[in-house]
Structures are given as C-alpha cells and as structure tokens.
C-alpha cells in the first residue's frame, strides 16, 4: 500500500443537501485546522437527497469553500468520482456510466463545480460492464496525461477487474488505477449475505492481498456504520445480527474504556493500523474532531489480538 501513514478522509457526501453550506464550511475549516488533508466527494452526491434530482451539490459546496478560503486549495487534496450521476434528473437508471465520453464529460463538469484545474484523485465509482474495460482505462489514463487527475483509482470493483484494468493500462502505456475504495468496518455482516445498500461492495481478503502485493492505497467507506457503534437509536442492519458481532462489540467496549477513547475512535485506529484510510462523513464539527483524535489512539498488539479473536 502507500508508504505514507494512513489518515482520516473527510467524506462530503451530504454537503449541500442534508448538511447546509454554512455548516459544511465549519466542518471543512475544522478538518483542515486539525491537520486533515483529503476530501472525498463524487459528481453524483447527493442526487437522491437533492430536490433537483441530480448530483453536484457536494462539489459546489467544496468549490464555494475554496473560493472563500484563499490558499485553501494548497491545504487539501480532492478526490471525486464519476459513474453514477443521472443524465436525467430523478432517474438513477440514466447514470452516465464509464464510457470515454462520459468520463471526460463528468470530470469536466466536476472541475467546473469545484473551481479547480485538476483533482488529486479520480475514482471510477463502480463497475460499468456495458463498456469495454479498455475504453475506461484509456479514458482515465488520458486524464492523468493531461494533468486533469493526478492519480486514479477504482471504487466498488472486484479485485480481478482492478488487476485486469492495471494490466490493460500497462499495455496502453497509461497510468493505472493505484487506489481501491470499498466498504469496511470492524464488525462484518454474516458471510455470503448481501448488504442492503445497493452498489456497496465489501472489502475482502483478496482486495487486501492485491493492495499489499501491488502497493495500492485502500480507502474504506461506511467505516462507522452510520453511527451504530455509539448511538443507541442507530441499530446495526439485520445482516450484522450474528454471534460474532456481539463478541466484537463487547471487546470494543472494553478496549475503548481502557484507552479512554470512544468506540468510533478505536474502530478508526484499528483501520489505520491496517494501512487503510477511513472515510468519515460528518454533519457536525464535533464529529470530525472526534475522528481526527483517533490518530492519537494507541492500539497495542494485545488489543488487536483480542479483536481478532472476537471476530
């Protein structure tokens, strides 16, 4: 994986929809003041919560924040995604896809909303098997060659597709995908049980094996399971109802008490120790402050062994 130490990534999915711009500005300010660097967004965020029925709100808020903060672009790195933005409002089935034309058009529109000339990382948000992988790989490579994207990665892709894409990139002489983004957390659903959230792909041992052997970065999303670790009103989805979950949660509670940390912080520290950058969505300043403080939580070998045994 990356040689750098993993860190907290600020997830901005709800900015401009569920999180009003002024509150989003406060969260962004707090994140940067606390030493945070990476912002994660997507061109489709969040069409399902936007009365307009299309994405772009999150990127527009980030763009407005950058305009209001001279020098702010130098303090953050921006990751965005293409694939899912509806071409027809309120019609997710009209999603743009990953054709070369769609990729180039999506990025151009993202740059306009963000008010920047490049993004630091561009993700393929999900697979699009209606388009030849060669075409998608070539389009991403062209954007890197033009300096529009400094780095490219694959979110919600099967490991074999990522490696096939990397092989195709080598054949074409273009920049390959060097980052993976998948759903991962301390507790896991029952094996072989699909998650309820459409489009989510869980991190597997195969993904980690690929990342470690090829030096790929790994980002995780839904890492805190929507507050379920700490909020009694946010119960875990039914797919997490199995004996292993109860065991892990009991050990997690004990370790959090021993380290005078929150359970969220222990989960984030556990992810970072594996070389994973967890994406944390925040709707309040105190949430991102809590997440950033996880960098100071020191899990020892004994803590890791207890958590592993419980899983």
pLDDT tens string 64-118: 999 999 999 999 999 999 999 999 999 999 999 999 999 999 999 999 999 999 9
Indicate the SS3 state at residue 89.
coil
Class of domain 9-234+265-297: alpha beta
CA–CA distance, 272 with 276 (Å, rounded to integer) = 5
Q: Are 122 and 175 in contact (CB under 8 A)?
A: no
Domain borders along the chain are 9-234+265-297
Question: Rounded to an integer, what distance in angstroms lies between the CA atom of residue 51 and that of residue 191?
Answer: 37
Q: Tell me what pLDDT residue 156 has.
A: 98
Q: Report how far Cα 42 is from the mean position of its chain's Cα atoms.
A: 10
- Say which range, 99-108, 231-240, 288-297, has the weakest mean pLDDT: 231-240
Instruction: Answer whether residue 230 shows pLDDT above 70.
Output: yes
β-pair partners for 9: 279
Residue 111: CB partners within 8 Å, gap ≥ 6?
A: 117, 118, 119, 148
Q: What percent of the chain has pLDDT over 90?
A: 95
Confidence of residue 197 (pLDDT cuts 50, 70, 90): confident
Rounded to an integer, the average pLDDT of 203-214 is 97
Structure tokens at 98: 């990953």
| CA-based nearest residue to 279, from 7, 14, 2, 3 | 7
**Distance between CA atoms of residues 15 and 103, nearest Å:** 23
- The kind and range of the H/E element at 220 are strand 217-221
Please report, to the nearest 10 degrees, the dihedral formed by the alpha carbons of residues 27, 28, 32, 33 taken in order. -40
Q: Looking at 74-212, which runs of residues are DSSP E strands?
A: 77-82, 121-124, 152-155, 179-183
pTM, entire model: 0.96
Share of the chain above pLDDT 70, in %: 99
How high is the mean pLDDT of the chain? Answer: 96
CB distance 39 to 72 below 8 Å: no
What are the structure tokens assigned to 272, written together? 């970072």
């Amino acid at each position: 994986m990356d040689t750098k130490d993993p860190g907290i990534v600020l997830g901005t999915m709800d900015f401009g929809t569920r999180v009003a711009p002024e509150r989003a500005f406060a969260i962004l300010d707090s994140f940067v003041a606390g030493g945070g660097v990476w912002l994660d967004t997507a061109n489709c965020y969040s069409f399902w919560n936007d009365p307009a029925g299309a994405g772009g709100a999150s990127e527009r808020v980030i763009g407005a924040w950058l305009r209001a903060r001279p020098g702010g672009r130098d303090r953050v790195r921006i990751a965005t995604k293409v694939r899912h933005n509806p071409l027809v409002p309120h019609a997710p089935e009209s999603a743009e896809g990953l054709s070369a034309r769609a990729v180039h058009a999506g990025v151009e529109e993202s740059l306009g909303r963000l008010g920047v000339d490049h993004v630091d990382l561009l993700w393929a948000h999900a697979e699009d098997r209606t388009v030849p992988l060669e075409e998608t790989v070539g389009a991403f490579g062209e954007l890197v060659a033009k300096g529009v994207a400094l780095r490219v990665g694959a979110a919600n892709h099967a490991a074999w597709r990522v490696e096939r894409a990397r092989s195709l990139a080598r054949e074409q002489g273009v920049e390959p995908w060097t980052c993976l983004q998948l759903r991962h957390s301390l507790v896991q659903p029952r094996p072989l049980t699909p998650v309820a959230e459409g489009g989510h792909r869980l991190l597997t041992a195969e993904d980690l094996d690929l990342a470690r052997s090829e030096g790929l970065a790994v980002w995780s999303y839904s890492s805190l399971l929507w507050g379920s670790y700490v909020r009694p009103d946010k119960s875990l989805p039914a797919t997490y109802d199995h004996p292993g979950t109860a065991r892990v949660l009991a050990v997690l509670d004990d370790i959090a008490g021993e380290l005078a940390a929150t359970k969220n912080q222990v989960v984030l520290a556990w992810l970072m120790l594996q070389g994973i950058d967890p994406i944390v969505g925040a709707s309040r300043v105190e949430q991102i402050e809590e997440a950033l403080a996880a960098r100071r939580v020191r899990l020892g070998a004994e803590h890791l062994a207890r958590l592993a045994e419980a899983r």
